[in-house]
Structure formats: C-alpha cells, structure tokens
Amino acid sequence: MQKLAFNIIFLTMALTNAHASVNPCKIDPNWGGCRPEDNSNRAVYWETILSFPVDRNPESVLVSGNKIYVSTMGEETGPIKNGDGTLVRYHEYGGLDESFKVRYNLHSPMGMAIIGEYLFVVDIESIVCVSKANGDFQFQISLENEGVDFLNDIVTINSRHLIVSATRKNALYLVDVISKSYERIDIPISNPNGLSYNPVNRVLFVVGNKRHELGNFGNGILTAIEYKNGRFQTILFETSFGYFLDGVAVRGNTVLVSDWKSVKTGGSLFTYLPFTRTILKEQDLFIPGVADFGLGTFDRYLVTPDLINDKIYILKARTL
Ligand SMILES: [Ca+2]
Ligand SMILES: [Ca+2]
C-alpha cells in the first residue's frame, strides 16, 4: 500500500515535471525558430504571403529571429571570382536592413550558418565569418589546399563545428572554427548541395544530385548520416526523388527539400518523414529557382529565393 502511494506520488511528480519541462519554444540557431512539437510528423500547406526583389542572383536564405539574411552571387551564378557577391539583411516584412553591411570582398556566396554572434558563409573555396550584428569581417578559413572550388552550403553542428558541402569534390568537410582546421568526412556524396542537421537525434541530412544540372530526369538524392562514436560515418539511409534538389531543412520530425523541377512552371517542396522513409507530400510552389530556403519564427514561415527572377518569397504554414 505504501509502495502504491509512493508510486502515485512519484507519477504525479513525474507528470508535473514533464509538464514543467516542456519548453514551448526550443529555439535552434540553425533554423532560427521553434520546433513544431505538436505537428511534428505532418506535412503542411505553404501559402505565399509576400515577395520582394533582391539584387542579384540570391542563392541562400537564413532566417534568424525577425531578420532575413540573403546571399547574392552577383552577375554570374557560377563560382567565379569577380568580387560582386555580398550578403544583405532584410526585416521580416521585406524592407532592407541597412544596419548590416558586408564590406569584405565576396565573389559567389552561397549557404550561411550562425554560431552565436557570428554569421558564416561559404564562398567558392572559403568559409568567411562576419559579425551577425553588423556584417563586419572577422576571419576566413580557406579549403583551397583540398582542391575545393565550389562550396555550396554550410550547417552548424555545435558551438565550434560546421559542416560544408563541396559540390564538385563529391565531399563534405567538418570545420572547426576555433582551431580553424578542417577534415574531410569519409563518406562520398554525389554533388552535395543543401545541408541540415537535427541536433536532437544527431542526424545530418544532405541533398545532392546524380548530376549537378537541371534536367527532366530523376536526379535527386537525400542522404541521412548519423553522428556516432564522435564521427559522422554511418549512412542511415539514402533515397532518390525529385529532379534537381537544392535546399533542405529539418522541421519537427519531417525534412523539407526544395526541388527546382522546372524553370518554366516552377519548383516544388517535398516533405519527407525519415521515421517511415516516405514522402508525405510534394507541393508545387510555382516559384522557379527555389534554391537554399530557410525556416523562421516557430517554423511557421518558409523563406525561399527565386534565383531565376531575383526575388525572395515568404510563405506561411497552413495546417492541412
Ligand atoms: Ca559573383
Ligand atoms: Ca545550394
């Protein structure tokens, strides 16, 4: 009897504690918003609510708090050293935030990641670090010695490590921003493009393509890599879908993937559920050039570049 009473008290305490420990907003700096715990296994419908022009060739978007960071490649979309690329910051309603200015010479900046007060961007063979507050240059780490010539995306793993994708090298690198060193991850990936990391179960998602080109053939590959025994070395699964995959983001228990699909009719967004290894949904976005998108504010907003028409689109999640 005493034991039962103890158990009831223990259970009550556990429930109270469980309730108290539920954090309504677990902000992850990598995707800048909360994880939608209540809706974590489901696909939603994304509705466009706003778009605005960006100069020029926006490749990647990162949302942090109520700010939208955009990397622009300049005149050319290839990794060319012409010094006309930059990073710009917008307010959530689309106005340019002039208090952020990158004076450092960027060529063809693409994916971005945040660690603390620092914003990292990949630029051809380098990882460039600027102040997240005002864009002031901090330092850069070059992977030139690795023969890297087309870094595409970058993702935060923890407070000192990042992973970058080197598309033409079919390689990923783990970068230490404190010691400014890097090592190649011993897993070949075909033309790796977008990266996203789920720190809850320590799984890295990589989207790549059999060929790094837009075509009318099935081309995309999503790879899930597990962090185990201190290393990224185990492929959990690999699956093929879509035409030309670019961006990826963990949303709750699902993984969102952008597919360029067609320059004429626009791209689409896949919602993939790793637990069951199934595609929950493919939504046509009617936006061409859906490159490296970002999620923001409670994962209820999705912000994507339109690389073809030099625009940014803000979409809002509608529950199905
Ligand atoms: Ca450029
Ligand atoms: Ca990309």
**How remote is the CA of residue 5 from the centroid of ligand 2, in Å?**
58
What is the distance between the alpha carbons of residues 1 and 47, in angstroms, rounded to a whole number? Answer: 57
CA of residue 56 to ligand 2 center, whole Å: 15
Higher pLDDT, 276 or 12: 276
Confidence (pLDDT) at 123: 98
CA of 28 to the centre of ligand 1 (A): 30
The backbone region for 249, taken as left when phi is positive above 0, alpha when psi lies in -120 to 50, beta otherwise, is beta
Compute, in angstroms, the gap from residue 75 CA to the centroid of ligand 1.
6
Give residue 220 CA to ligand 2 midpoint distance, Å: 13
Question: CA–CA distance from 67 to each of 88, 109, 293, 294, 295 (Å)?
Answer: 10, 18, 14, 11, 11
Question: Does position 55 have pLDDT exceeding 90, yes or no?
Answer: yes
Find residue 313's DSSP bridge partners: 51, 304
State the distance from the centre of ligand 2 to the C-alpha of 151, rounded, in angstroms: 9
pTM of the entire predicted model: 0.88
Is the separation of the CB atoms in 28 and 199 below 8 Å? yes
* C-alpha 165 to ligand 2 mean position (Å): 9
Taking residue 105's Cβ as centre, other Cβ atoms within 10 Å add up to: 14
- The CA 181 to ligand 1 mean position distance, Å, reads 26
What percentage of the chain carries pLDDT values higher than 90?
Answer: 78
CB 90 within 8 A of CB 52: yes
For residue 79, the ligand closest to its alpha carbon is 1
The CATH architecture of the domain made up of 53-319 is 6 Propeller (2.120)
Ligand 2 centre distance from Cα of residue 194 (Å): 5
Cite the beta strand spans of 148-289 per DSSP E: 151-156, 161-166, 171-176, 181-184, 192-198, 203-209, 220-228, 231-240, 245-251, 254-262, 266-273, 278-284
Instruction: Check whether 254 has a pLDDT greater than 80.
Output: yes
Reply yes or no on whether the pLDDT at 4 is more than 60: no
For the chain, the structural domain boundaries read: 53-319
Is the model more confident about 216 or about 252?
252
Residues with CB under 5 A from ligand 2 (ion): 152, 193, 246, 292
Q: Which of 17-21, 57-61, 195-199, 316-320 has the lowest mean pLDDT?
A: 17-21
The ligand that comes nearest to the alpha carbon of residue 196 is 2
Please tell me the distance between residue 99's alpha carbon and the centre of ligand 2 in angstroms: 26
Distance CA 50, CA 303 (A): 10
Residue 69 Cα to ligand 1 middle (Å) = 17
pLDDT per position as a tens digit, 131-188: 999 999 999 999 999 999 999 999 999 999 999 999 999 999 999 999 999 999 999 9
